[in-house]
């Protein structure tokens, strides 16, 4: 079987780390910066970074509509941190933002994942931390949180895969996986292996 071809959205943020992990696992990576980069992909990763900036760049690059369609049509998608925020149907922008930022921050970007995320949910004081928790179907995973969101509401048909301190931090909804944390910044390759297995399965059964 040929190696999976995985797109990594490379407009801003921590995309290189995903590429290193995925190529280490045998995938072929393409940096996605324009609509033609979406051709022939078996899956796509939306990395962490700054979701407001990434959302603006999605529009500027012309990627917004074609990417949204590919995800809605079933392309396996892994959204981590800001990537999860891009996928969410609804975004809560809490008090950590200034009033001006809150006014201009959008209430949704791609909106393909029926969850509400709370941006910068851990506030200023506990903005970054590392923990370890079980992810359903994968096992124990180290979790690196950096100014992370958590999921406040998930529709019934969204599978909740992990919680930390009672807050949802990992979900799966059909082809979309949304994580509050950064699996690419830990030593563990479990999440990426699991994602690649979904990409292979979808490519094989298509």
The catalytic residue positions are: 81, 182, 184
The residue range among 34-42, 145-153, 162-170, 193-201 that interacts with ligand GLN, by the rule CB under 6 A, is 145-153
* Residue with smaller CB distance to ligand GLN, 4 or 145: 145
User: Closer CB to ligand GLN, residue 21 or residue 148?
Assistant: 148
- Regarding 82 and contact with ligand GLN (CB under 6 A), the answer is yes
What are all long-range contacts of 14-21, with beta carbons under 8 Å and residues at least 24 apart? 14/47, 14/48, 14/49, 14/80, 14/182, 14/184, 14/185, 15/45, 15/47, 15/49, 17/47, 17/182, 17/184, 17/185, 18/45, 18/47, 18/80, 18/184, 18/192, 20/184, 21/183, 21/184, 21/189, 21/192
Counting contacts by CB under 6 A, is residue 135 touching ligand GLN? no
Of residues 84-113, those binding ligand GLN (CB under 6 A): 85
Q: Is 147 in the site for ligand GLN (CB under 6 A)?
A: yes
Footprint on this chain of ligand GLN (rule: CB under 6 A): 48-51, 81-82, 85, 119-120, 146-148
């Amino acid at each position: 079987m040929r190696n999976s071809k995985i797109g990594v959205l490379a407009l801003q943020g921590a995309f290189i780390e995903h590429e290193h992990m995925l190529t280490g696992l045998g995938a072929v990576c393409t940096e996605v910066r324009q609509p033609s980069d979406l051709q022939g992909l078996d899956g796509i990763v939306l990395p962490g970074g700054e979701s407001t900036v990434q959302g603006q760049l999605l529009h500027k690059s012309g990627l917004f509509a074609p990417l949204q369609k590919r995800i809605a049509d079933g392309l396996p998608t892994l959204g981590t941190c800001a990537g999860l925020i891009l996928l969410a149907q609804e975004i809560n922008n809490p008090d950590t933002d200034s009033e001006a930022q809150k006014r201009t921050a959008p209430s949704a970007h791609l909106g393909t994942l029926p969850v509400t995320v709370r941006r910068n949910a851990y506030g200023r004081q506990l903005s970054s931390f590392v923990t370890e928790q079980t992810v359903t179907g994968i096992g124990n995973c180290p979790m690196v949180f950096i100014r992370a969101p958590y999921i406040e509401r998930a529709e019934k048909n969204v599978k909740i895969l992990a919680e930390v301190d009672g807050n949802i931090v990992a979900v799966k909804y059909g082809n979309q996986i949304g994580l509050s944390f950064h699996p690419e910044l830990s030593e563990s390759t479990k999440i990426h292996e699991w994602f690649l297995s979904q990409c292979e399965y979808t490519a094989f059964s298509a």
